[in-house]
A and B are shown apart, each in its own frame.
Chain A
Amino acid sequence: EAGVAQSPRYKIIEKRQSVAFWCNPISGHATLYWYQQILGQGPKLLIQFQNNGVVDDSQLPKDRFSAERLKGVDSTLKIQPAKLEDSAVYLCASSLRGGSNTGELFFGEGSRLTVL
């Protein structure tokens, strides 16, 4: 079974530029998450989708971050304009339901962003 796919794996940009990350979850997984993991910290939830609807985006900096999940499958996360503090690994995860029953999220390998 194919896992969660993410691209690009690495991205280096200058501050104030824009960047977009793509995620393809495991087939059949209704719930999709974007997490931000800064070096030395645990993953922080940015946004959670159930199918193509947003369940939780309370920690998404909406002045610069946006995410969408059209057709309830693939998702993109965009940052515009980027700041130095956005340097992090952006992890996409998916689960069959909300993750509440088993707690098992399946993560992609992440997209490592460096903002100079």
Chain B
Amino acid sequence: RKEVEQDPGPFNVPEGATVAFNCTYSNSASQSFFWYRQDCRKEPKLLMSVYSSGNEDGRFTAQLNRASQYISLLIRDSKLSDSATYLCVVNARGGGNKLTFGTGTQLKVEL
């Protein structure tokens, strides 16, 4: 089983739609969780951290379910500029503070 698993997509959605991405992780000792965004042929950049209580940043909401080892990212009112690959990232402290990236979920927002 992969350490971090994501549906690769692509998710093709119309502008203004709400879209949700899911991610599961295998190491129950994982301590912290993040979503990164990667534009085509560009480097990954931190989008947001994921906290146990859930957190929101504008149109983006991230949630964590430790019992199910599951992380989600919700994008509301999607924009054309949201088109990118969204990478789920897990930090397993037992693994020496190593950030492990998922394969990413590709989002295409269309007119």
Contact = CB atoms under 8 A, between A and B. Distances in A.
Given A42-B101, A100-B97, A107 B32 contact: no
Interface of B: 4, 8, 31-34, 42-46, 49, 87, 89, 91, 93, 95-104
A110 B99 CA distance: 18
17 contacts: A35-B101, A40-B8, A40-B103, A41-B104, A43-B44, A44-B101, A45-B99, A55-B97, A56-B98, A91-B43, A99-B99, A100-B93, A103-B33, A103-B46, A104-B46, A107-B43, A109-B43
Contacts of A75: none
Contacts of B46: 102-105
Contacts of A103: 32-34, 46, 49, 89, 91, 99
Contacts of A107: 43-45
Contacts of A25: none
B97 A99 contact: yes
A98 B34 CA distance: 15
B102 A110 contact: no
A48 B4 CA distance: 19
Nearest to A104: B46
Nearest to A6: B43
Contacts of A45: 98-100
Interface string A50-93: 00000110000000000000000000000000000000000100
Contact of A42 (B33, B91, B102): B102
A42 B99 CA distance: 11
A75 B4 CA distance: 28
Contact of A109 (B8, B32, B42, B103): B42
Given A43-B44, A107-B45, A109-B43, A98 B97 contact: yes
Residue among B44, B99, B100 having the largest count of chain A Cβ atoms under 10 Å: B99
